[in-house]
C-alpha cells in the first residue's frame, strides 16, 4: 500500500532539489549549495504533528505533546476506574448496589484538579500565542494572495529595501494536475520528485525564502476565503478578501516545505498546494537579484517575467 | 388545553382509525415522536450513504469515482442531513415520546403545533435534497456556508429556505417542550426531581430558541447578498466575510451542545438503571448541563482561530473554551461514580452508554487539545478536527440515541428487541467506528486538510483503514435497522411494564406498549418510584 520506505524525516543530507520546469535555471547557482536540508513533509504512517523547522514551530508541537500526555494520563485514570467498576460491581459477581449518591469532598477534588491542570495548559498556550502575535522586527515581507485555485507571492521588501517587481503565481504542477483528473489512468504513486512522492504537493514555481530571517507574511485573497498552511512553519492563516492578515516565520533549516490550502474554497480546493524552498541568505540574495534583473529593465519577455503575469489563463 | 382534553375523550381507548388520520393528522405525542424517529432514521441512512461516497472516493489516492465538485456536495449534504435531519429530529422524537411519560403529563402542551413542527421537516429536506438533482447541483461550500464561497452556489436559495423551515420546526418544537415541562408536570414532580433527560431537554430547548433565529438571520443575509444587492459579507461593498463567521458560530457552537446535552440526559438515565444505584450528584449533573449551556454562548470564536483574530480575542476564547472541560469532566466523573458500588448488568443500552462515556471523553480530550490556540493553528481544518467532531457526534450523540432506542424500544412496542442482535450491533459499531475515526487523528496531525477529494500518497494507508472502517460501520447500522423492525413488527417476547429491573421513573409505571393515551389523570407521584426522588445533594 505504501510506496517506498518510511522516511525518518529531518535533515537528510545529499538530496537534490526537485523543482520542475525552467524555473530551475534561475535557481541553478543555489542548487549546488544545498548540501543538507530538512524534509519535514508528510510521511506514510506519520502519527504525530511535525516539530517543524522554524523558531516558533516548536510551540504547537510542544503544546500538542503536553496536552496529549495530560489527556492520556487522565484517560488512564478515568477509564481505569470505569473498568475496575465494571469488573468489581457486576451483578453476576453478586455485587449488591450501595445507596449513596453524593460525596462533597470527592466532588470538590475532581472539580479543583482539572482547574489546576487547565491553568497550567492555559499558561503555556498563552506564551506561544503572544510570541506568534508579535510580527514586529521583520526583515522581510511577503504578500500572499489566494485565488481560486492558485497562490500569488509578491516580494515586498527585504532587509529594509523595497523589492521591485518580483512576484509570481504558484499553482499545482503539471504532472499532479494530469494525474488527478477523474479516470486519468495515471498512477499517483508515480508522481515523484527526487524519490519523494509529491502528488498534489508540488507547484510550478515555489516560494523561495531565506533562512535565519524574520519574515512577515501579509495574507489576503482575491475571491473566496483560502488558508495558507505550511505545517513545517507551525501555523495556518486564512486569506480573506478585503482583509489583510499577518503572520511571521523564521526558518532554521534549509529545505523544501510543502503545504496545502486549508479552507474550503471550491471545487479545486484540494489542488492548490504550497511549496516553500528555504535557502541560505547568500543564495537567496543571489536569487532575488536574478529575479529583479530579469523582471525590471526591459519589456523583453524572459521566461521568468512571463510567469509574473497575473492569473495565467486557461486553468482550473 | 381544556378543549384538547375534551376532544381526547372521544378516542379514549383506541388510536384514530385510518392510516392518514393517525399519522398525518396526529396530535398525539407518541405518534409524533414515532414519526420523528422514523424520519431521523431515514435521514441517518441518507446522510450515511453520502458518507459512503466520501469514504469510497478517499479509499485510495487518485480521483476514481466522482468529480471534486460532487465530492464537495457530498461533504456539505452529509453534514446538513446528519445534523438537522438525523441527530436533532431524533432527540426531538425521544423528547416527544418520553417527556410527557416521564413527568406524568397526558400529552405535549401544544399538540397541533407539535404536528406542524414535524410535518415541516419532510418538506424542508425534500427541498434541500432536490438540489442534488437540479442543474448546477447542490450546495458545495460546506455546511457552514461561508461567504463568499457559498454565494457562488446556484442552489443557495433552496438551502436558505429549507434552513428557515428547519429553524421554524426546531423553534416550535422547543417552545412545545418548554411549555410542557414548565406547565404539565404531575403534582409532586418538582423541577429538581425531574429525570436528567427532561432537564437536559429543558435547557436544550432554551438554547434552540436563542440560536435558531441567529442562524436564520445569517442565512438571510447570504440570500440578500446574493439576490438583493446587499453587501453584508461582500468586501467590495464595505462588508466583511468574517462577520458571517461570527454570526454563524454564535449559532453554531450552541448548536453543537443542542446535539449533545440531550445525550447527556439519556446517559444519565441509563447508567443508574443498569448500575441499580441512584445517579451520583444529581444536582451537580443538572448544574453542569446549565453551565455548559451558558458557556456555549461565549466560546464561538474558537472555530475561527485561523481568521486572524486579535490577540486578546484569541486568549479570551481559548480560556472560555478550556473552562468547558470542567463541567464536562464533572459529568464524566459522576457517571463513573454512579457505576462505582453498583450492581451492574450489561444489556445493549448499557453497552452503548458505556461506549458513549469512553468515546465521548476521547472526543472531549481532542476538544481540549483544539482549544489551545497555538496547537489549533496546526489542527484547524484538518482531519484532526474531523476525528474530533465525529467522536462527539457519532460515538457521542448517535450512540446515545441508539442507547435510548434500545432502552425505550420495549416500552414503545411492547416487545423485547433481540438482545443477541442488539449486542452484535453494538460490538460491530464500537469496533468499526474506531477503525473509521481513530486513524483520522493521525491524518490530521500529519497534515491532511479536511474537505479534500484527493490526497498525497503519504496519507494513503490511514485513509484506506478509515474507509474500510467506514464501510463496515455503515453496514453495521443495517443490523440496527433489522433489530428495530423486528422488534416493532415480529418480536414475540412481551415486555414487562418495568422493562429493566433497575429502572425507575413514571414511564415504567404505564403498560408496555404505552397505550395511546397515558396519565389522563395525573399520577400520584411517590418519591421512591422516581429515579431522582430522594435527592438531597
The reply to whether A8 touches chain B by the CB within 8 Å rule is no
Q: Of A121, A262, A267, which has the smallest distance from its Cβ to B372's Cβ? A: A121
Phi, psi (rounded to 5 degrees) for B299: -125, 10
pLDDT at B530: 86
Q: Cell numbers 450528584 correspond to what residue?
A: B281
User: Searching chain B, which residue's CA lies closest to the CA of residue A198?
Assistant: B456
pLDDT tier, A99 (very low <50, low <70, confident <90, very high otherwise): confident
Of A35, A46, A43, residue with least CA distance to A12? A35
A229-240 burial, b at 16+ Cβ within 10 Å, e below that, comes to bbbbbbbbbbbb
Of B328, B206, B255, residue with least CA distance to B88? B255
- Report the share of chain B in percent with pLDDT over 70: 96
Q: How many CA atoms lie within 13 A of A8 on its CB side?
A: 4
Q: Is the pLDDT of residue B6 over 60?
A: no
Q: Is the pLDDT of residue A23 over 70?
A: no
B491 alpha-carbon distance from chain centroid:
28
pLDDT, averaged across chain B = 94
A128 to B374: CB separation less than 8 angstroms, yes or no: yes
What is the tens place of the pLDDT at every residue in B301-324?
999 999 999 999 999 999 999 999
What pairing do the DSSP bridges indicate for beta strands A140-147 and A226-230?
Answer: unpaired
The reply to whether A146 touches chain B by the CB within 8 Å rule is no
Grid cell digits, residue A269: 480546493
Q: Is the pLDDT of residue A312 over 90?
A: no
Q: Cell numbers 389523570 correspond to what residue?
A: B521
What is the tens place of the pLDDT at every residue in B24-51?
999 999 999 999 999 999 999 999 999 9
- Give me the active site residues of B, please: 78, 107, 143, 169-170, 253, 255, 257, 268, 302-303, 328, 331, 450
Question: What is B238-302 written as a DSSP string?
Answer: T--HHHHHHHHHHHHHHHHHHTTHHHHHHHHHHHHHHHTSPPTTHHHHHHHHHHHHHHGGG-GGG
What is the tens place of the pLDDT at every residue in A30-78?
433 333 334 468 989 999 999 999 999 999 999 999 999 999 999 999 9
Higher pLDDT, B371 or A313: B371
Among left, alpha and beta (phi > 0; psi -120 to 50; other), residue B67 is: beta
pLDDT at A102: 85
pLDDT at A201: 96
Sequence-ordered list of residues with C-beta below 8 angstroms from that of A239, at least 6 positions apart, any chain = A144, A145, A146, A219, A220, A221, A225, A226, A227, A228, A245, A263
Q: Is the pLDDT of residue A20 over 80?
A: no
The reply to whether A42 touches chain B by the CB within 8 Å rule is yes
B382 to A125: CB separation less than 8 angstroms, yes or no: no
Mutation for A interface: B456, B468, B500, B528, most A CBs within 10 A? B456
Region B140-156: mean pLDDT is 95
Region B496-505: mean pLDDT is 94
| Contact call for residues A41 and A232 (beta carbons, < 8 A) | yes
pLDDT at B4: 43
Region B414-432: mean pLDDT is 97
For CA atoms B131, B136, B142, B147, give the dihedral sign: negative
Higher pLDDT, A28 or B261: B261
The reply to whether B446 touches chain A by the CB within 8 Å rule is yes
A238 to B308: CB separation less than 8 angstroms, yes or no: yes
Using omega within 30 degrees of 0 as the cis cutoff, is the peptide bond preceding B70 cis? no
Q: Cell numbers 409505571 correspond to what residue?
A: B509
Region B236-250: mean pLDDT is 96
pLDDT tier, A298 (very low <50, low <70, confident <90, very high otherwise): low
What is the tens place of the pLDDT at every residue in B45-67?
999 999 999 999 999 999 999 99
Q: Of B373, B382, B457, which has the smallest distance from its Cβ to A197's Cβ? A: B457
Q: How many angstroms separate the CA atoms of A167 and A155, rounded?
A: 6
What is the tens place of the pLDDT at every residue in A149-177?
999 999 999 999 999 889 999 999 999 99
Higher pLDDT, B65 or A195: B65
Q: How many angstroms separate the CA atoms of B468 and B431, rounded?
A: 12
pLDDT tier, B536 (very low <50, low <70, confident <90, very high otherwise): low
Q: Which DSSP state fits B204?
A: H
Q: Is the pLDDT of residue B508 over 80?
A: yes
A59 to B339: CB separation less than 8 angstroms, yes or no: no
pLDDT at B529: 83
Using omega within 30 degrees of 0 as the cis cutoff, is the peptide bond preceding A168 cis? no
Residue A67: strand, helix, or coil: helix
pLDDT, averaged across chain A = 84
Mutation for A interface: B151, B359, B447, most A CBs within 10 A? B447
Q: How many angstroms separate the CA atoms of A222 and B276, rounded?
A: 62
Q: How many angstroms separate the CA atoms of A56 and A38, rounded?
A: 16
Grid cell digits, residue B128: 434541500
pLDDT at B533: 72
| Contact call for residues B411 and B422 (beta carbons, < 8 A) | no
The reply to whether B146 touches chain A by the CB within 8 Å rule is yes
Residues of A in contact with B311 (CB under 8 A): 129-130, 133
Distances (CA, A) of B72 to A171, A270, B141, B381: 21, 10, 7, 15
Region B386-391: mean pLDDT is 97
Amino acid at each position: 500500500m505504501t510506496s517506498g520506505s518510511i522516511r525518518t524525516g529531518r535533515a537528510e543530507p545529499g538530496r537534490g532539489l526537485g523543482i520542475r520546469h525552467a524555473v530551475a535555471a534561475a535557481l541553478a547557482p543555489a542548487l549546488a549549495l544545498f548540501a543538507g536540508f530538512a524534509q519535514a513533509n508528510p510521511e506514510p504512517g506519520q502519527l504525530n504533528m511535525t516539530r517543524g523547522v522554524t523558531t516558533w514551530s516548536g510551540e504547537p508541537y510542544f503544546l500538542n505533546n503536553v496536552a496529549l500526555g495530560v489527556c492520556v494520563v487522565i484517560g488512564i485514570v478515568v477509564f481505569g476506574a470505569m473498568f475496575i467498576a465494571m469488573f468489581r460491581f457486576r451483578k453476576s459477581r453478586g455485587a449488591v448496589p450501595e445507596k449513596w449518591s453524593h460525596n462533597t469532598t470527592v466532588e470538590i477534588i475532581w472539580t479543583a484538579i482539572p482547574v489546576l491542570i487547565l491553568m497550567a495548559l492555559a499558561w503555556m498556550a498563552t506564551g506561544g500565542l503572544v510570541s506568534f502575535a508579535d510580527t514586529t522586527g521583520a526583515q522581510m515581507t511577503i504578500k500572499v494572495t489566494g485565488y481560486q485555485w492558485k497562490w500569488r507571492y509578491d516580494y515586498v521588501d527585504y532587509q529594509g529595501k523595497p523589492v521591485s517587481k518580483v512576484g509570481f503565481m504558484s499553482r499545482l504542477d503539471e504532472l499532479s494536475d494530469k494525474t488527478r483528473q477523474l479516470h486519468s489512468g495515471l498512477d499517483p504513486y508515480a508522481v515523484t520528485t527526487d524519490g519523494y512522492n509529491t502528488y498534489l504537493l508540488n507547484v510550478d514555481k515555489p516560494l523561495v525564502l531565506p533562512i535565519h530571517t524574520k519574515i512577515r507574511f501579509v495574507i489576503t485573497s482575491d475571491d473566496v476565503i483560502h488558508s495558507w498552511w505550511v505545517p513545517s512553519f507551525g501555523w495556518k492563516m486564512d486569506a480573506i478578501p478585503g482583509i489583510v492578515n499577518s503572520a511571521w516565520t523564521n526558518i532554521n533549516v534549509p529545505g523544501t516545505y510543502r503545504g496545502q490550502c486549508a479552507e474550503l474554497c471550491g471545487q479545486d480546493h484540494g489542488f492548490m498546494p504550497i511549496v516553500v524552498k528555504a535557502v541560505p541568505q547568500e543564495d537567496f540574495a543571489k536569487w532575488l537579484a536574478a529575479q529583479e534583473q530579469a523582471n525590471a529593465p526591459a519589456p523583453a519577455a524572459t521566461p521568468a517575467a512571463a510567469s509574473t503575469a497575473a492569473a495565467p489563463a486557461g486553468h482550473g | 388545553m381544556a378543549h384538547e382534553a375534551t376532544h381526547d375523550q372521544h378516542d379514549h381507548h383506541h388510536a384514530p382509525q385510518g392510516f392518514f388520520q393517525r399519522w398525518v393528522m396526529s396530535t398525539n405525542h407518541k405518534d409524533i415522536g414515532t414519526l420523528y424517529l422514523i424520519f431521523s432514521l431515514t435521514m441517518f441512512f441518507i446522510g450515511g450513504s453520502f458518507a459512503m461516497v466520501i469514504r469510497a472516493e478517499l479509499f485510495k489516492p487518485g480521483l476514481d469515482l466522482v468529480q471534486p465538485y460532487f465530492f464537495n456536495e457530498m461533504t456539505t449534504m452529509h453534514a446538513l442531513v446528519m445534523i438537522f435531519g438525523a441527530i436533532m429530529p431524533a432527540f426531538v422524537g425521544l423528547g416527544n415520546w418520553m417527556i410527557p411519560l416521564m413527568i406524568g403529563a397526558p400529552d405535549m402542551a401544544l399538540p397541533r403545533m407539535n404536528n406542524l413542527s414535524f410535518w415541516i421537516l419532510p418538506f424542508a429536506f425534500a427541498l434541500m435534497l432536490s438540489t442534488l438533482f437540479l442543474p448546477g447541483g447542490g450546495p458545495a461550500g460546506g455546511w457552514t456556508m461561508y461567504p463568499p464561497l457559498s454565494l457562488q452556489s446556484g442552489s443557495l436559495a433552496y438551502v436558505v429556505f429549507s434552513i428557515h423551515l428547519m429553524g421554524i420546526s426546531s423553534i416550535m418544537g422547543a417552545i412545545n417542550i418548554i411549555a410542557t415541562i414548565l406547565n404539565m408536570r404531575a403534582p409532586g414532580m418538582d423541577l429538581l426531581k425531574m429525570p436528567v433527560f427532561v432537564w437536559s431537554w429543558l435547557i436544550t430547548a432554551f438554547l434552540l430558541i436563542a440560536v435558531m433565529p441567529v442562524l436564520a438571520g445569517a442565512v438571510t443575509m447570504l440570500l440578500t447578498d446574493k439576490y438583493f444587492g446587499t453587501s453584508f459579507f461582500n468586501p467590495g461593498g464595505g462588508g466583511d466575510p468574517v462577520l458571517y463567521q461570527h454570526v454563524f458560530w454564535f449559532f453554531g457552537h450552541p448548536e453543537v451542545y443542542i446535539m449533545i446535552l440531550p445525550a447527556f440526559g439519556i446517559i444519565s438515565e441509563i447508567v443508574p438503571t443498569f448500575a441499580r444505584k441512584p445517579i451520583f450528584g444529581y444536582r451537580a449533573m443538572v448544574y453542569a448541563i446549565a453551565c455548559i449551556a451558558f458557556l456555549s454562548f461565549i466560546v464561538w470564536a474558537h472555530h475561527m482561530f485561523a481568521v486572524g483574530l486579535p490577540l486578546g480575542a484569541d486568549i479570551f476564547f481559548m480560556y472560555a473554551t478550556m473552562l468547558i472541560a470542567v463541567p464536562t469532566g464533572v459529568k464524566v466523573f459522576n457517571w463513573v461514580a454512579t457505576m462505582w458500588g453498583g450492581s451492574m448488568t450489561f444489556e445493549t443500552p448499557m453497552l452503548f452508554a458505556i461506549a458513549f462515556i469512553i468515546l465521548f471523553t476521547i472526543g472531549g480530550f481532542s476538544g481540549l487539545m483544539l482549544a489551545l490556540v497555538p496547537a489549533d493553528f496546526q489542527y484547524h481544518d484538518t482531519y484532526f478536527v474531523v476525528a474530533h467532531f465525529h467522536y462527539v457526534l457519532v460515538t457521542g450523540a448517535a450512540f446515545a440515541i441508539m442507547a435510548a432506542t434500545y432502552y425505550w424500544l420495549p416500552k414503545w412496542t411492547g416487545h423485547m428487541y433481540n438482545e443477541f442482535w442488539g449486542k452484535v450491533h453494538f460490538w460491530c459499531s464500537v469496533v468499526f467506528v474506531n477503525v473509521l475515526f481513530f486513524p483520522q487523528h493521525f491524518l490530521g496531525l500529519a497534515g491532511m486538510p479536511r474537505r479534500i477529494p484527493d490526497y498525497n500518497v503519504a496519507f494513503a494507508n490511514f485513509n484506506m483503514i478509515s474507509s474500510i472502517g467506514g464501510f463496515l460501520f455503515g453496514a453495521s447500522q443495517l443490523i440496527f435497522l433489522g433489530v428495530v423492525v423486528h422488534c416493532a413488527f415480529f418480536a414475540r417476547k412481551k415486555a414487562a411494564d418495568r422493562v429493566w429491573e433497575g429502572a425507575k421513573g413514571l414511564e415504567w409505571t404505564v403498560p408496555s406498549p404505552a397505550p395511546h393515551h397515558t396519565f389522563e389523570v395525573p399520577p400520584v407521584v411517590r418519591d421512591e418510584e422516581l429515579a431522582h426522588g430522594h435527592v438531597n445533594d
